[in-house]
Structure 1
């Protein structure tokens, strides 16, 4: 049985798939499974991938790699592709990798060693944010070896990364019948990560950047249909809220939930140039303003930003800040 299964959705990444695949094939950890899932990509992504697989095939037996390509019957979106991949996985641990990103050579080795040596269910690491060939280290504001409660609070307030590509997870968690998979693409990572931190018996944090997150403006996160994007954010945020309530955690994390709801509202900021920007922002979890502005765990800077938006001054404020730079 492989030590780790890596799941890679493939759609519209002909410019990037080679970089991603090579970084996975050159991992220092042996005995891994890599599942590329073709989501009916309309470009040459799979053709390029097949060529890279053939080029590296001689290494697979030596390093005990299982490399598979699977296909969705119809274009289904990243959430469905990841769910499909986790159900096919046979590795002891599962991790995801986006096909326009790439990883450091020791990504799997360092995370697996920590998980295996310390009997950890979920290990997460830091990452690089890559914008225009410039790499910025993004650290999780966390300590290692703390309780589930500690990590859930930091996740709900976005003090640690909400993505799944920096989290190595015991397969049994993903394949449990209690695990809920999101149906929408936006914030699907957040919905999944909340469950990972809840179900894990032990969580570990590796304070090293091992993943390269490429800010690809053609990806779903930069979708032009911002209203549909916001609807999906709310659906998955509601999923997180329902999950917490079902497990009687809504009162325990009441302040963190206010911050979570405002994080959903803040997704509208990417469309501040639109004429209906304020309507979109206002309609996402209306009525949280008082609690947010009085919260002990919200910074003065974030409270000030909320007031600026509430007063309808955000577009003007952004223009002023841009001129000052």
Structure 2
């Protein structure tokens, strides 16, 4: 069942702050950190300064080579709610798992170490979860560019509630199901679930599919509670010529899980995830300043020969995606790679 409404949040807001009667419920906030000395302080402070105080803040240093660990330890000395784990580098999945293994909260939030929360994020999320008996609360976010902030809202309605028998609508219409961040999870539904540590890219897709399979109730709220830092790709990883190959394993694993159930809504989930990663790969190619237009076009053409991309072109489900993304997929399907590379390059230039 899909229930929509807009009165819920209005009734809970009091002078910009939500009243909370759930202080006995603890939230574990898991922050994987690797070489983020520039951003970690802002990230952790945004959690420790939350209006909701019953928190466990788990910072997992994934073998950083800069001062990330030192910063985390200094923050721990200032706030006894902070727990610091130092481990050998194992990737994002490994770091998140390390945090989940020691989490003691009733709820779990994942926060990337270069992002930050609104000051009332935890209070809003847990209030919605407890009031609606929800296993997951999904919320919107701000995209933070260097000189611009863009509000991202997945739906027009203020509140959407998905019951178990409305899972089809959940998979078909929710636009943020593929990420681990932007959600408050009830720890009971995570059970023994962990991220697949073989996946170094797109690990959220397969993980969240397994999580959502256990969900009895999920609530989406149209409120931006997180700031997602849109770093230039070169500042994070640089151009990765094997990025398309890295998406193949997690998408294939997800498709295997979905195929056993064979429903249109679950294939729509797969299609949306594949579209998101297709656009990511296209963007990476076109952001590479070392490539001319001819070479970018060639790389997009070669990339489009990959099995999962071809499968997407010709078997795309009727998922709700922005027109701009749908256009990029259809241009690829029509093999208009030159036009595709020009459009993406211009788009990347505008955001530079």
Establish whether residue 15 from structure 1 lines up as the match of residue 38 from structure 2: yes
* 2:146 aligned to which of 116, 126, 132: 132
Partner of 1:122: 136
Cα distance, 1:28 vs. partner?
1.0
Establish whether residue 68 from structure 1 lines up as the match of residue 83 from structure 2: yes
Q: Distance in 2 between matches of 1:229 and 1:166?
A: 24
Q: Distance in 2 between matches of 1:295 and 1:8?
A: 35
Q: Distance in 2 between matches of 1:265 and 1:134?
A: 25
Counterparts in 2 of 1:154 and 1:185: CA distance versus 1, 3 Å: farther
Partner of 1:312: 337
* 1:171 aligned to which of 181, 184, 187: 187
Establish whether residue 249 from structure 1 lines up as the match of residue 262 from structure 2: yes
Establish whether residue 211 from structure 1 lines up as the match of residue 229 from structure 2: no
Aligned length: 309
Q: Deviations over 1:152-193 (max 9, x none)?
A: 1234xxx2353212111111222335x663521321222222
Q: Distance in 2 between matches of 1:196 and 1:118?
A: 18
Counterparts in 2 of 1:203 and 1:317: CA distance versus 1, 3 Å: closer
Secondary structure of the residue that 1:239 maps to in structure 2?
A: helix
CA contact (8 A) 1:266 1:281 kept: no
Secondary structure of the residue that 1:226 maps to in structure 2?
A: coil
Partner of 1:80: 94
Counterparts in 2 of 1:297 and 1:166: CA distance versus 1, 3 Å: closer
> Mean Cα displacement is larger for which, 279-288 or 20-29?
279-288
Report the TM-score when normalising by structure 1. Answer: 0.83
Residue ranges of structure 1 left out of the alignment (5+ in a row): 61-65
Establish whether residue 197 from structure 1 lines up as the match of residue 212 from structure 2: yes
Partner of 1:154: 173
CA contact (8 A) 1:250 1:257 kept: no
Q: Distance in 1 between matches of 2:59 and 2:331?
A: 44
Establish whether residue 289 from structure 1 lines up as the match of residue 313 from structure 2: yes
Q: Distance in 2 between matches of 1:299 and 1:22?
A: 34
CA RMSD of aligned residues (A): 3.0
Counterparts in 2 of 1:34 and 1:312: CA distance versus 1, 3 Å: same
CA contact (8 A) 2:35 2:66 kept: yes
Partner of 1:63: none
Cα distance, 1:200 vs. partner?
1.1
Q: Deviations over 1:114-143 (max 9, x none)?
A: 111221110111111100142211112275
> Mean Cα displacement is larger for which, 302-311 or 117-126?
302-311
Cα distance, 1:260 vs. partner?
4.2
CA contact (8 A) 2:254 2:270 kept: no
CA contact (8 A) 1:5 1:95 kept: yes
Q: Distance in 1 between matches of 2:321 and 2:126?
A: 35
Q: Distance in 2 between matches of 1:172 and 1:324?
A: 44
Establish whether residue 38 from structure 1 lines up as the match of residue 61 from structure 2: yes
> Mean Cα displacement is larger for which, 93-102 or 195-204?
195-204
Q: Distance in 2 between matches of 1:127 and 1:324?
A: 21
Counterparts in 2 of 1:172 and 1:181: CA distance versus 1, 3 Å: farther
Partner of 1:280: 303
CA contact (8 A) 1:154 1:160 kept: no
Cα distance, 1:224 vs. partner?
2.6
Q: Deviations over 1:247-279 (max 9, x none)?
A: x13455445544544444333212145453320
Cα distance, 1:107 vs. partner?
0.7
Residue ranges of structure 2 left out of the alignment (5+ in a row): 1-23
CA contact (8 A) 2:172 2:319 kept: no
Partner of 1:240: 254
CA contact (8 A) 2:117 2:226 kept: yes
Counterparts in 2 of 1:174 and 1:183: CA distance versus 1, 3 Å: farther
Report the TM-score when normalising by structure 2. Answer: 0.77
Counterparts in 2 of 1:139 and 1:71: CA distance versus 1, 3 Å: same
Partner of 2:108: 94
